[in-house]
Structure 1
Amino acid sequence: MDIDTGIRRRLAEGVYDHLDGPSLCETVTAHLQEMCPDKHLRLLWVDQPQSLDPADEDEGRAAFLELLRTENQGIRRVEQLDGNIGLIDVRRIAYADEGADAIGAAMQLVAHSSALILDLRECRGGAPEGAAMWCSYFFRDDQVHLNDIYDRITGATRQFWTTAHLPAPRYTDRSVYALTSSITFSGGEDVAYTLQAHGRAVLVGETTRGGAHPTARHPITEHILVTVPTARTINSVTGTNWEGNGVVPDIHVPADQALDTALKAALEHLAA
């Protein structure tokens, strides 16, 4: 059954008749993803009325930039754990230009750690350029082809390589552990999948949500947006991505046990 037929059938059956706005978006999203298992295809409810004019890409970027500024460019905390193990908790993936200083500051603070834990358990996404910058710290130079993004509308393919110049030392000769959960999504998955595919990190935790396709947002009403996938990520190692399947960790444990498990693994590796 195609999407149009499926949604119209449920509409005719009255499935959506008595749902309020947020419940309608949640229910329709579930039905959309039953017929097209793409986690980026969904309806979103927004409390504040919005313009029905076509979405302005610059306005969308500006809004996300402002959100990132209030959230320390997505970096929740940096910490030194027992055994000189560094920890960086990342909740959003910032743009590479505005986020470079904050990302560099975090990496500077862990520059002399013996191993690093990158906590992506609550990372819900962000910018592919920022994902490439995060990954760049874990490779020796700018000669690593990370992934591509193919744009369906234009037919163009954009390549992402490691960054040549970084504002903090690279972290290339020590172990890296990335923590994941069923919440980890989109840009957070990008970092986890890329580091795993290139053999640069051990993933610990749960399989992620599985959203690999960049999207565009379109207003339907003053309170409802539809997000539509318009592109596809292609990893340079695997030739595919994590869409629908999620990123599968190397060490499967419940998300709330991932940090302790990774810390134990790091300390045992150092002791050996």
Structure 2
Amino acid sequence: MNRVYSSILVLGCLLLGTLSSKAQEQAPSITPKQTQKVIDSVESILKARYVFPEMAQKMGDLIQSNKKKGTYEGLTDPQLLAAQLTEDLQSISKDKHLRVMYNPRRAAAQGRQVTPEDSIRHTESRMARMKFENFGFKEVKILEGNIGYLDLRAFMDTEFASETAVAAMNLLANTDVIIIDLRQNGGGSPSMIQLISSYLYSPERVHLNNFYWRPTDSHTQTWTLPHVPGKRNPDAKVYVLTSSSTFSAAEEFSYNLKNLERATLIGETTGGGAHPGGTVNASEGFLLWTPAGRAINPITETNWEGTGVSPHIEVPADQALEVAQTQALEYLANKTTDPHLQFRYNWVLSGKKAKTDPVQLSKSTLKQYVGQYDVRKISMENGTLFYQREGRPKHALTPLNETEFLVGDMDDFRVRFDQKGGQVNAIVGMYANGRTDKNPKTD
């Protein structure tokens, strides 16, 4: 099952190969007879493998009808024919996985008998490409507030990527919140979905998903694993970031956790591809990527094909991380009973809100803070206040409110201006650990 579903990742490689082949040599013209052979082959493959037999029949009827009407007569360029066939098939099926490609080199390689040496070379090449992408794990870090962040670009097969996945999830094992960023994730293998999901649950197994495979008329199931290397984090609050580019296996991960009520989704509705499959030769150097299975969620008894996965909190994709961090900090601040932790969460939260939704102060308000405060100096340039301690760099001030300000990019230091009798008389340095110090205004 994993090999079939993970072939979604190969699609990108096939497309790149297609473009590369075209760049290296001019594609030959295709004759009407060859066009008919391609159409017959595509129709035959669809009827044998496509996940919905009735839809396969409709698609086959459409392209045969179009051929008779002359739709493909002027398309002597095989690349253009492939694009038109793809458009026609998707117009009926609405299936974004379904695609016709022209790549004679790939078709020839796929059609020949594979030797042990071929298999070794293919595995080594595949491994090198996955390693170049760090097996899909773009970034793993701990954000302010003990919030874990994972930027995952692909769900690569655990046969190759498990060590990297284990390292990433163990880094996040002690966090109170985990944000999993799938905004640029186009899919991959259910084995990686299973592994990462397992770290978010206790050892008791959880039913994640079901698949139906038409070529074998069989059903398979995926569950969380009873054992994972290292430490699980079943108590962490989980947020998943999505975009319209989130697709296929990345959608399954999102859909699973949403319906299991294990994660809050933030961002955009995803692309809408729930049918795994693979590439099949379709005559004359053409290939057909055809979905041969479908996901069937054990809770909803359906999937996200054509509709995508809708988020709990809908925001533009480029704002999703900021919103998730704000949500996480508010959750943590409300949850804790520790005054020190509550202070720290609110400290980070107020700073984040000041940057995303800046407070606007008048020039007259800002001007009253300009002056010397012993070893600290406040100046104003082009409507912006600047803070400088004697002998140190100057930092722009960002208002938190009318009297408190962030200082440059410093996360652990802020300033407040005190007043007496309506006049500013002191500056107070405020630190993330709760400490303060004060300097009177001296000019």
TM-score, normalisation: structure 2: 0.56
Q: Distance in 2 between matches of 1:50 and 1:243?
A: 28
SS in 1 for 2:138: strand
Match of 2:292 in 1: 230
- Offset, 1:97: 3.0
29-38 or 6-15: bigger deviation = 6-15
Deviations 1:28-76 (A, max 9, x none): 32221110122221123559654151797x96x8465553232111111
Aligned twin of 2:64: 8
CA distance in 2, matches of 1:8, 1:140: 53
Structure 1: gaps of 5 or more residues: none
The yes-or-no answer on 1:122 pairing with 2:180 is: no
TM-score by length of 1: 0.89
1:83 aligns with 2:145: yes
Partner of 2:88: 31
Gap change, CA 1:20 and 1:207, over 3 Å in 2 = farther
Letter of the structure 2 residue corresponding to residue 81 of structure 1 = L
CA distance in 2, matches of 1:17, 1:142: 60
Q: Is the 8 A contact 1:211 1:243 kept in 2?
A: yes
What is the distance in 1 between the residues matched to 2:324 and 2:113?
A: 42
Distance 1:168 1:22 in 2: 49
Equivalent residue of 1:88, what SS? strand
CA contact (8 A) 1:55 1:218 kept: no
Query: Quick check: 2:174–2:233 contact (8 Å CA) kept in 1?
Result: no
Residue of structure 1 equivalent to 2:306:
244
Identity of aligned residues (%): 39
Q: Distance in 2 between matches of 1:44 and 1:142?
A: 44
Q: Is the 8 A contact 2:203 2:226 kept in 1?
A: yes
Q: Deviations over 1:58-95 (max 9, x none)?
A: 96x84655532321111111122222211101111021
CA distance in 2, matches of 1:239, 1:66: 38
Over 3 Å counting, the alpha-carbon distance change for 1:19 and 1:182 in structure 2 is: farther
* Cα gap change, 1:247 to 1:169, in 2 (>3 Å): same
* Letter in structure 2 aligned against 1:186: S
Which of 100, 106, 121 is the aligned partner of 1:43? 100
Question: Structure 2 regions of 5+ residues with no counterpart?
Answer: 1-56, 335-443
The corresponding residue for 1:135 is 197
Note the alpha carbon deviations across 1:138-195, whole angstroms, 9 max, x for none. Answer: 1111421111111112122111110122123112112110011111111111111111
Q: Secondary structure at the match of 1:35?
A: helix
Name the counterpart of 2:261: 199
What is the RMSD computed on CA atoms of the aligned residues? Answer: 2.5
Which is bigger in relative contact order (C-alpha 8 A, separation at least 6)? 1
**1:202–1:44 distance in 2 versus 1, CA, 3 Å:** farther
Residue number among 197, 211, 229 corresponding to 1:167 in the alignment: 229
Contact 2:176 2:235 in 1 (8 A): no
Larger radius of gyration: 2
| One of 72, 90, 112 as aligned partner of 2:174 | 112
Q: For the residues of structure 1 that align with 2:113 and 2:147, how far apart are their CA atoms?
A: 44
Which sits farther off after the overlay, 122-131 or 47-56? Answer: 47-56
Aligned length: 270
